[in-house]
Chains A and B, each alone.
Chain A
Amino acid sequence: MIKRRELDQGLGDMQRLLVEMGRRVERALTESMDALKSLDVLEARRIIASDSELNAMEMQITEIGAKLMATQQPVAKDLRNILAGLKISSDLERMGDLAVDIAKVVLRLEGQQLIKPLIDLPKLAEMVCSMISGSVRSYLEQNVDLAYKLDKDDHEVDALYSQILSELFAMMAKDPAVISQSMLLCFVGRYIERIGDHATNIGESTVYLVTGKRPDLNT
Chain B
Amino acid sequence: MQALIEIERLNLFYGSFHALKNISMDIPEKAITAFIGPSGCGKSTLLRSLNRMNDMIPGTSTHGSIKIAGADIYGKDIDVEALRKNVGMVFQQPNPFPKSIYDNVAYGPRLHGITSRHKLDEIVESSLRGAALWNEVKDHLKRSALSLSGGQQQRLCIARALAVEPDVLLMDEATSALDPISTLKIEELAQELKAKYTIVMVTHNMHQAARVSNQTVFFLNGEVVEYAETEKLFSNPQDQRTEDYISGRFG
Whether, in the assembled complex, B116 has its beta carbon less than 8 Å from a beta carbon of chain A, the answer is no
Whether B236 contacts A73 by the Cβ 8 Å rule is: no
Interface residue tally of chain B, by bracket?
10 to 19
Contacts of B247 in A (CB 8 A): 2, 4, 74-78
Interface residue tally of chain A, by bracket?
10 to 19
Whether, in the assembled complex, B150 has its beta carbon less than 8 Å from a beta carbon of chain A, the answer is no
Knowing A79-B235, A80-B236 are in contact, say whether A73-B207 is a contact too (CB < 8 A): yes
Whether, in the assembled complex, A215 has its beta carbon less than 8 Å from a beta carbon of chain B, the answer is no
Contacts of B207 in A (CB 8 A): 73
Whether A76 contacts B246 by the Cβ 8 Å rule is: yes
Most buried by A among B242, B248, B249: B248
Whether, in the assembled complex, A1 has its beta carbon less than 8 Å from a beta carbon of chain B, the answer is yes
B192 → A minimal CB distance (Å): 24
Knowing A75-B210, A76-B243 are in contact, say whether A2-B235 is a contact too (CB < 8 A): no
B24 → A minimal CB distance (Å): 25
A162 → B minimal CB distance (Å): 38
Of the candidates B210, B236, B237, B249, which one forms a contact with A4 in the assembled complex, judged by CB atoms under 8 Å apart? B249
Contacts of B210 in A (CB 8 A): 75
Most buried by B among A73, A75, A211: A75
Complex alpha-carbon distance, A4 and B19, angstroms: 30
Whether, in the assembled complex, B113 has its beta carbon less than 8 Å from a beta carbon of chain A, the answer is no
Whether, in the assembled complex, A12 has its beta carbon less than 8 Å from a beta carbon of chain B, the answer is no
A82 → B minimal CB distance (Å): 11
Contact with A along B193-226 (1 / 0, CB 8 A): 0000000000000110010000000000000000
Contacts of B206 in A (CB 8 A): 75
Nearest-neighbor residue (CB-CB) of B207 within chain A: A73
- Which 3 A-B residue pairings sit nearest by Cβ, starting from the closest? A212-B236, A2-B248, A75-B234
| Apart from A1-B248, A76-B234: 18 A-B pairs, beta carbons within 8 A | A3-B248, A4-B248, A4-B249, A7-B248, A73-B207, A75-B210, A75-B234, A75-B246, A76-B235, A76-B236, A76-B237, A76-B243, A76-B246, A76-B247, A77-B243, A78-B247, A79-B234, A212-B236
21 contacts between A and B (CB under 8 A): A1-B251, A2-B248, A3-B248, A4-B247, A4-B248, A4-B249, A75-B210, A75-B246, A75-B247, A76-B234, A76-B235, A76-B237, A76-B242, A76-B243, A76-B247, A77-B243, A77-B247, A78-B247, A79-B234, A211-B236, A212-B235
A binding-site residues for B, Cβ under 8 Å = 1-4, 7, 73-80, 211-212
